[in-house]
Structure formats: C-alpha cells, structure tokens
C-alpha cells in the first residue's frame, strides 16, 4: 500500500483563507501535516488540522511579509518543511488600460513575494539541514494568455520560470521547487456570475467539469511528499485536460 502521510511535516499555505488556499490547507490537514495558515485582510482561516496549526496575518507585498510567515512557523513549531505560494491577485484589465502601477502590483504580489518566500525557506533549510519543498500556484494562463489578463498571464509565466530557475540553484541545498497550474476552479455563484465563461470551459473540458480547490490541494500534497522526492523544476497542469486540446 502506498499512501501519503505528512505527520510531523510543517507546511505553510499562503492565502489560506481564499478559495483555492482553503482547499489546499484542508488536504494537507487530511494528510496529517502541521499547518501555518497565512491570511491577509479577512478573518483568520479555520482548518481542523490534527497535526496542529497556527495562523499568521501578513501583507506579502511588504518586504518582510514572507519572512514573517517563516518566522511564525519556526516560533510555533521549531521548523518549516514546505511552503505553498498560493496567495495572488487576478484582476482583469484590457492591455491598453494597464498602468505601470497595475503591472508593478501584479508582479510584487504574484512573483516577488514568492521569490522572497522561497529564499526564506531555503535559508532555513540550509541552516538546519534536511530537505524542503516549495510549490508555486501558477495558472494555465502562464502558458496560454487570456484576453484582459495580460499582466496576470505574464506574472504567472514568470512564476513558472522562477520555479525552474530556483530548482536548479536550490537542489544542492535540498530544496525542491515546483509549480502547479490550475485551470478554472469553481467557487460559489460562479455559474450565475459568469455563465458564458463557465459554458465555454465546460464545452472545452475533456473531464467535463470545473476544478475544485481540493484538486489543486492533492497535487500540492503529492509534490510536498516523499513520493515526489526526485521531482523538481516541473509544472503540474491540473485543468481537467483543457490545455491538452487544440485552441482553434
């Protein structure tokens, strides 16, 4: 029997109060991990984690935001084994309307914060010895740009390259870095709010449904587990097969 048991591993999930982040956190809790649940503006996330949990509020665009998440893990549990860089922004805007400020906010949130977090985890793992794992939540839009999302798509493409580049340099330190690229993930009310988008997705989806946050969580749990011990610098597309088909 092969199963994933992360009992004793301390895993930080950023944006754990959000739609996908809460699903990722639930799946790590079900795998037995001890959780550090990062949140930003709203209420602290509540996840029933038998391995224990700690919440930490931080603006990850602040220079010391990512470091505060790693510090909270070490203070509460004495170590941090893995980080899922899930927090991100995804506003829509036409290409010609995107200002320099819009572009910079997109990059500091979706890319720079993930770089700082990766560097902080690698520093901790290098100091204590052993191994660590980072998963960036990218998007299929990092490979397939969507109209009205050029700054977002560009940031996710950068994040995909960041995972590969970091994997090359951090492997010798014992840190694996991978990306997960979700397709369209359902949330309450999405069918009513965006019927044409959901309809287009369903028409293109070989597996015939929207994704669920737990679909992304399962990929993250696998990538942070010993089963993925020889996997680094890769991008796991979790989109029900939509990216596999032709686009014309």
Ligand X SMILES: NC(=O)c1ccc[n+]([C@@H]2O[C@H](COP(=O)([O-])OP(=O)(O)OC[C@H]3O[C@@H](n4cnc5c(N)ncnc54)[C@H](OP(=O)(O)O)[C@@H]3O)[C@@H](O)[C@H]2O)c1
> Contact positions toward ligand X, by CB under 6 A?
15, 17-21, 40-42, 59-61, 86-90, 109, 137, 139, 182, 184-185
Instruction: Give the H/E segment covering residue 224.
Output: none
Query: Which is catalytic among the residues 9, 53, 139, 155?
Result: 139
Residue pair 223/196 in contact by the 8 Å Cβ criterion:
no
Nearest CB to ligand X, comparing residues 90 and 123: 90
Residue pair 175/122 in contact by the 8 Å Cβ criterion:
yes
Query: Which is catalytic among the residues 53, 152, 155, 181?
Result: 152
Crossing angle for the helix pair 113-128 and 65-77, to the nearest 10 degrees: 30
CB of 86 to ligand X, least distance (A): 5
**Is 139 one of the catalytic residues?**
yes
Q: What secondary structure does DSSP assign to 90-158, as a single string?
A: ---B-GGG--HHHHHHHHIIIIIHHHHHHHHHHHHHHHH-S-EEEEEE--GGGTS--TTBHHHHHHHHH
Nearest CB to ligand X, comparing residues 55 and 230: 55
Torsion of CA 38, 28, 169, 63, to 10 degrees: 0
Nearest CB to ligand X, comparing residues 86 and 118: 86
CB of 61 to ligand X, least distance (A): 4
Query: Which is catalytic among the residues 22, 155, 156, 181?
Result: 156
**Is 156 one of the catalytic residues?**
yes
Helix (H, G, I), strand (E, B) or coil at 41: coil
CB of 22 to ligand X, least distance (A): 8
Nearest CB to ligand X, comparing residues 93 and 173: 93
**Closest residue by beta carbon to ligand X:** 18
Catalytic residues: 139, 152, 156
């Amino acid at each position: 029997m092969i199963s994933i048991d992360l009992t004793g591993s301390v895993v930080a999930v950023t944006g754990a109060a959000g739609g996908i982040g809460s699903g990722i956190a639930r799946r790590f809790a079900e795998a037995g991990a001890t959780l550090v649940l990062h949140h930003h503006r709203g209420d602290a996330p509540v996840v029933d984690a038998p391995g224990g949990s700690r919440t930490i509020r931080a603006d990850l665009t602040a220079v010391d935001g990512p470091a505060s998440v790693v510090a909270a893990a070490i203070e509460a549990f004495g170590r941090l084994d893995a980080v899922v860089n899930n927090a991100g922004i995804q506003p829509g805007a036409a290409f010609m309307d995107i200002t320099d400020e819009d572009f910079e906010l997109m990059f500091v949130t979706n890319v720079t914060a993930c770089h700082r977090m990766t560097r902080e985890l690698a520093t901790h793992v290098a100091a204590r010895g052993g191994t660590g794992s980072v998963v960036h939540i990218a998007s299929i839009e990092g490979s397939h740009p969507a109209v009205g999302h050029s700054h977002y798509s560009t940031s996710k493409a950068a994040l995909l390259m960041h995972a590969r580049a970091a994997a090359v340099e951090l492997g010798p330190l014992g840190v694996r870095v991978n990306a997960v690229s979700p397709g369209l993930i359902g949330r309450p009310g999405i069918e009513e709010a965006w019927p044409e988008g959901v309809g287009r997705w369903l028409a293109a989806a070989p597996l015939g449904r929207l994704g669920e946050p737990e679909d992304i969580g399962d990929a993250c749990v696998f990538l942070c587990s010993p089963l993925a011990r020889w996997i680094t610098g890769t991008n796991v597309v979790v989109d029900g097969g939509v990216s596999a088909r032709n686009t014309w």
